[in-house]
Amino acid sequence: MNRHDIIVVGASAGGLDALQALVGKLPGDLAAAMFVVLHIGARPSVLPRILTAMGPLSAAHAEDGAPIRSGHIYVAPPDHHLLVERGHMWLSRGPRENLTRPAVDPLFRSAAEAYGPRVVGVILSGALSDGTAGFSAIKTYGGITIVQDPDEAQYPGMPTSALQYVDVDHCARIATISELLVRLSGPNPSGTKVSLPAEAERRQQAKEDTPVSNKFGLEQPVALTCPECGGSLRETIVDSMPYYTCHIGHRFAGPNMDLGQFERMENALAVALRTLNERAELCRRMAEVSRAKGHSFSMEKWDAASREAEDRAGVLRRFLEQDWARPGAIEEGVSQEL
């Protein structure tokens, strides 16, 4: 039987109870590493402590760049996507997916790309459809997919979505899922380092020069947006001049569109600079409050946050002070040529 030593689990509403029940039935010598995403957003989380208390497996928040070891549970920390690549895990504050960070799809997708048929994906209780696209990736790369029986799940949305759109391998209750994971993981000793399979190594080498997934990207936009209202724009050509019209009627000739975009960009950057400056001041004031109360740990945290905001404001200020290709300059050059 093929070993499946990478287990990725996704859950949302109602998922805490399901996770506790699942982990509580797993043995301490589980021959796989387990990765868990629960939709917690940016809120503080004690999920690793809760899962550790449920059974013999040790759970901890994942650490960026840490190696993967079997017999351990790695939990996505607040406000970070958890991803798997090249024999280690890493964290990303890339774009939210399915309205959340951490999200299930990035974990499933990255694990499938890195470990292919050695991956087992599990979707537990949750609303909406996070995890469905990730399940499709796991299936594409030859992994195994398992969903909690929607009749058992407190919130059946995520399991039901996966069953509707993906050819899921197993639909089972929690007790059966735990048994499946033990059987699928095989006899590998707990605590051993999980290495990268040869086929995944080849894939990773092939994409070394491509951007890492789940970072903010700058792909070509499908449509431009209106500088006035933010709505999508339709392009028309009138005597070789492009015009842009949004769906409520704002209309711009090409050069005017350039000016509108430039002003919107400057305003956005100015708001960002102002907010960073205000954050630095707020953190300074909170540090003073902590200092007055003798709370040295809180004071150090607030001081560090203030310095960070100041540093980033400084970078943005220097960026804004640089020369720009301002609107009108290109048109002036064209008129000189004529």
pLDDT in the model for residue 212: 46
Positions of E strands within 2-143: 6-11, 33-38, 58-61, 72-75, 81-85, 88-92, 119-123
Q: 224 in a domain, yes or no?
A: no
pLDDT, one tens digit per residue, over 235-280 is 999 888 889 999 999 999 888 998 999 989 989 999 999 999 999 9
pLDDT in the model for residue 322: 86
Same domain, 189 and 84: yes
Phi-psi region of 191 (alpha: psi -120 to 50; beta: other; left: phi over 0): left
Same domain, 154 and 14: yes
pLDDT, one tens digit per residue, over 165-189 is 999 999 999 999 999 999 999 765 4
Range of the domain at 279: 233-337
* Number of domain units in the chain: 2
Q: DSSP H helical segments within 8-46, as ranges?
A: 15-24
- The structure tokens listed for 102 are 């951490």
Collapse the DSSP code of 6 into the 3-class scheme (helix H, G, I; strand E, B; otherwise coil) and give the result. Answer: strand
The residue among 119, 86, 82 whose CA lies nearest residue 97 is 82
Same domain, 268 and 126: no
pLDDT, one tens digit per residue, over 114-134 is 999 999 999 999 999 999 999
Q: 225 in a domain, yes or no?
A: no
Same domain, 59 and 178: yes
Same domain, 243 and 187: no
Sequence letter at residue 254: G
Same domain, 189 and 285: no
The residue among 230, 259, 257 whose CA lies nearest residue 242 is 257
Q: DSSP H helical segments within 57-155, as ranges?
A: 104-115, 132-140
If residue 53 lies in a helix (H) or strand (E), which one and from where to where? Answer: helix 47-54
- Using the 8-state DSSP alphabet, how is residue 116 labeled? G
Lowest mean pLDDT among 42-56, 68-82, 171-185, 232-246: 232-246
- Distance of alpha carbon 8 from alpha carbon 82, whole angstroms: 10
Could you count the other beta carbons within 10 Å of the beta carbon of residue 304? 12
- pTM for the model stands at 0.78
Residues classed as catalytic: 12, 39, 130
Per-residue CA distances from 87 to 20, 299, 320 (Å): 27, 38, 40
Q: In terms of DSSP bridges, do strands 119-123 and 144-148 run parallel, antiparallel, or are they unpaired?
A: parallel
- The structure tokens listed for 216 are 């903010």
